[in-house]
Amino acid sequence: MEKPTLLMTGPYPEWELPLLETQYHVLKLWEQTDKPVFIAKHANEIRAMATRGDLGASNDLINALPKLEIISFFGVGLDAIDLNYAKSKNIRVTITPDVLTSDVADIAMGLCLAVARNIPQGDTHVRSAAWGSAMLPLATRMTGKRMGIIGLGNIGMAVAKRATAFDMPISYHNRKKRDDVPYAYCETIEALAAQSDFLVAVIPGGPATQGMISSAAFIALGKNGYFINVARGSVVDEDALLYALENGVIKGAGLDVFLNEPKPDARFTKLSNVVLQPHVGSATYETRRGMGQLVRDNLAAHFAGRPLISAVV
C-alpha cells in the first residue's frame, strides 16, 4: 500500500523523523527555499500535516491543500490555527495534551523558586568569585506564601499539587468555578492577584485570552508579588508587565513565554528582577518522546479509521 503523504512544517526532535518516514512519505517544508512553489507542486498528494504550536497552520496553507484530512500538533498551543476554519474544511486537528503537564508544572515551580530565592544571581555570584568579598541581598521565602493560579486545568492542578507541598494556600481564577477542588475561587484575575504572593498563568493563548492579564492585575499583586508565566506571551499586556517590573509595581517575574518569540522585547534582558527561559516548559526527553508518540498515534488512528486519541476538532 502506498504511504500517505505527510507535510511537516518544521523539525521535530531528531528521533521522530525516521519513525514518521516508516509510515509516511514525509515532505519537509522548512527545508524548501520556495515554499509556495513546493506546496503547489505537492498540494494534491498531501493528506496530513504535522506541525508545532509555534508554527501552527494558517488558513492560507490549509486552503492550499485540497486533500488535507488531518493536522497533528506537536504541543497543546492552538494560537496559530483557526479551529473553526479547519472544521469548516472537515479537517481533524489533534494535540498532545497530558504528556507535558508535569514538566510545565515543574518549570512553573522552578521559576517561582528561581526568582524568589535569587538563584541566577547566586550562580553568577559564585562564578564571578565575588563570594567572600560581597554579599547577596536577602531573598524571599516561598514556603507558606499564597499561590494564585490563572487557569485551573490539568497544568493548573499540577501546579497546585506542587504548591501544596510548599504549604502554600491556593486560590484560582477560571472561566467557571470548579466544584471538585478545595481551593478558593476568585471571580476576576484582579481579585486573585490581590490575595496572591505568586500569580501563575497557565491559561491557553488565542483571541479569548489576549492581554487579559493587565496593569490592574499587577497593581493588585503589589510590590511584594511575583508573576510567573508558563502559558503564552499573548495572555499578558507585555508593556504593562515591563512597566510593573521596571517601576517596582511588582517584585519580580519568571517567564518561559513571550509575546514575540523567539525575539522577546529587549527590555526584559536588562532587568535583574526577572528570570527568563526560552519556552522550555515541555523540553525534556521524556515529554518530547511522549509528544512524538501521541502525534504518531493520532495519525495512525486516522488512517486506520479508528477514533482519534486527542482531537480538538
The enclosing H or E element of 83 equals helix 83-88
* Start-to-end Cα distance in the chain: 28
Bridge partners of residue 71, in order along the sequence? 49, 93
The residue annotated as part of the active site, out of 52, 279, 288, 296, is 279
**69 neighbors 302 (Cβ within 8 angstroms):** yes
Helix (H) or strand (E) holding 122: helix 119-127
Q: How many angstroms separate the CA atoms of 38 and 40, rounded? A: 5
| Per-residue CA distances from 241 to 5, 26, 122, 180, 213 (Å) | 44, 42, 24, 32, 9
261 is catalytic: yes
Which residues sit opposite 311 in a β-bridge?
A: 94
Choosing from 92, 232, 288, 302, the catalytic residue is: 232
Cα separation of 64 and 161, whole Å?
45
Catalogue the active-site residues: 232, 261, 279
